[in-house]
Structure formats: structure tokens, C-alpha cells
Amino acid sequence: MIVAVLVSLALAAPPPPIEDESKVPPYTLPDPLLRADGRRVAHAREWTGERRPELLRLFESHVYGRTPAAVPRPRYTVRATDRSALRGRATRREVEIAFGEGAQARRLDLLVYLPNDARGPVPVFLGLNFQGNHAVDPDPAVALARTWVAATYPGVVAHRATDAARGGEAKRWPLELVVGRGYGVATMYYGDLFPDHAQGAAESVLTLFPAARGEDAWGAVGAWAWGLGRALDYLETLPGVDARRVAVIGHSRLGKAALWAGAQDARFGMVISNESGCGGAALSKRVFGETVEAITTRFPHWFAPAFARYAGREAELPVDQHELIALVAPRPVYVASAEGDGWADPRGEFLGARHADPVYRLLGTDGLPAQEMPPVGRPVHGTIGYHVRAGGHDLTEYDWRQFLDFADRHWKR
């Protein structure tokens, strides 16, 4: 059954993206500082105490679904430690985070690198990966993913990773670069949380909770965001980690999860979204690139059922993605785009960041220091950061260098 669903999804060609600015419909964005009763937010305490919770409820109800408040008690098991990882530059730790018992148990494998030359607790970049921890680091000592992996990735046989899959995602995780700049890296396979197919809920962390029903039932993006919070729970126990300076980072669909995680959980000290597009940083009401209709048709398991109601009716959405970015305020947030990634709508991602600026200004920060979209290769760094680079949909070393500079600006002044 699962194979049939996957084949169906693979063969269903997405509709061509709308990449003509002249075809963007007129739209009106909701004001993030205007409460549902029409009163304007004028003070930081009103944002924190009233408007912010109101916006969170709207995103739960209409986009991502409601995340359960209770967290099952975790069991942490350190499965392996290597103090000479990355040619002696880092200590690598592989940790199993387990929830539940018996057949219903769920196990998440967290991979952590901390620089060996650190003189105290270090800030950490935390993000999910697409292919398994073994794909982030080609070292054969790193354990292979134990759960379902998409057959489209090299080295995957019958949806299980083999040794041929090692290092398949290493270019997206320049570990030595990050560790060399004085930061730790932590990553976890997103399929451990919710296998990325339409029937994945039955094998996901959703089974740890009473079955969610209704239009605001949570899906894969909610589960992936939840898992990032559980990884942060563990990082808070490590003496070598400065848990107040953990940057949650994600690319593409995992950029959506990073934004939703950072919006819900104020413990994340920084949020980084790389080419997250529709349901991420890009404005839905532009109906540009990937649309609500396209994303909810091809990936019905990602969002709350309610989100699909806005397919072709984006104007009726009571929220838009600039308000998601605003929910991170006043913490630093970075939005990154690629010039050749029209499907993710680079301009819509920039506008998402720009229209979050009033909330950041209200809370006493410098917001985004740009009114117009900057040229390719010209990053702008305020408390909101943004860049658009040359090339297509990917997470590159160039992107990482901007994120590291942004983190230095805020955390190493």
C-alpha cells in the first residue's frame, strides 16, 4: 500500500509554478500588530501577552495543527562517543532518545559534534536531515538510519539505508567549517519523527499521543518541529552546550519545521529558514511558485487538514507567513533564498521577512535593514537577516557562511 502511494506521488507531476510577477493577484496582508478585535498592539507586553498567543492559535487552527502540550518522559542512551571525530577537531556523540514502551516505542537518533578546542559551553546549530545521520558524515562509524528512507536517495534498498548511502548529504552539512568557527552541530533524521509519505502517521511520533482528529489535527511538519524541541531538551543536559544559544535550522520542508519550532518554543535562541517556500517563509497570498493547492495536493500529510481549504482561496487565509516569522521576535531570525528556486518564491520569502519587521521594531530591535530585496550575493543582517544567492534549491556552503556570520554578529559581539 505504501509503495503504491509513493509511486502515485512520484508520478504526479506538480503543476508548473507561477513565476510571472505580473500574474500575482492583488492581495492584502493581515497586520501582525492588529488583534482580532481590531485593537492595535502598541506595547511589547501586549504583543507577548495577547497578540502572540492569538497568532499561535491561528496557525495551529489553519496551517500546522495543534501540537500536544504534554511530552512523554524521554530515555537518553549514549550509543557511541568518538573524541577524535572530524580529524580530531570534534567530539562526536550518538544519542538515542526513546519514548514509550514496546511496539509503540519511538526512537530518535541524535548526532552531536562539539569542538574539542572549546574553552566553555558553545552555541549549537540544530537541524533535521533528509537521509539519515549516516548521510551527514561519511565516517563508517556513524550508525545507519534504522527507519524508512525514501527510495529516491542513493544507497537505499527497499527503503532501508545501506553503507552505499554514507555521506550522501555531507555537502549540506559542512561540519568542519562549522566546528572550526567555534560552533557545535546537532542533527537528527526527520524520518524518525514522521516518515515522509502519506501513510507515515502510523509510524510516527503521533502514535505517542491520542489520535488527533478534526481540521486542526497536526501532521508531519508539526511532528518534525516537535522533534526539534525534544533534541533541544537533550542538548540542555550537556555541559558543553550553551543551551541559550541554540540555532534551529532547516532547508526546504525542514525550513518550514524550523520556523514552526522556533515560533512555538522560545528556548531556541535563533531560527534559520533556508528556501522554505510555501508554508515556510514565503507569503501564501502571492500565489507564486508552489501554491497552497500544489503543496496540499502532493503532500497532504504535512499540514493540518484545514490548510487544504485555502487551495485557490489564499485570500481567505486569516494569517500569512510574515506573521510566522514575527512569532520568533525579538530573537534573531534568518531567511535565505536562491535566485533559481522559483518554486520557493524568493521574493515572497523576502517579503515574509520584511513584513515581520514592524514586530521586531516594536520589541526594540533593528529588524530587517532593507526595504527592497537585495541583489544576489548581498546579504543584509539585522536582527532579521536575509540573502538570495545564485543557483537552485539547495543548502550550500555559501548559505552556511552567511548563517555563521549572522550568529557571530549576535552571539560573539
State the catalytic residues: 252, 393
Nearest to 235 by CA among 264, 260, 267: 267
- For residue 330, cis peptide bond before it (omega within 30 degrees of 0): yes
Choose among 272, 314, 258: nearest CA to 289: 314
Give me the residues paired with residue 282 across strands. Answer: 278
Task: Phi first, then psi: give them for residue 50, nearest 5 degrees.
Answer: -125, -60
Distance of CA 58 to the CA centre of its chain: 19
The DSSP annotation for 173-216 comes to --HHHHHHTT-EEEEEEGGGTS-SSTTGGGGSGGGGSPPP-STT
Give the count of beta carbons closer than 10 Å to the beta carbon of residue 86: 20
CA distances to 46, 177, 335 from 247, rounded to whole Å, are 26, 16, 13
> Which grid coordinates are listed for 81?
562517543
Compute the 3-state secondary structure of the chain and give helix, strand, coil in percent, each to the nearest 5. Answer: 35, 20, 40
What's the burial of 210, exposed, middle or buried (CB within 10 Å: 0-12/13-18/19+)?
Answer: exposed
Q: Are 135 and 146 in contact (CB under 8 A)?
A: no
Q: Where are the beta strands (DSSP E) in 202-311?
A: 241-251, 270-274
DSSP for 309-369, please give it: GGTT-GGG-S--HHHHHHTTTTS-EEEEEETT-GGG-HHHHHHHHHTTHHHHHHTTS---S
Residue 112's nearest CA partner among 131, 101, 99, 96 is: 96
Q: Residue 282: phi, psi to the nearest 5?
A: -80, 140
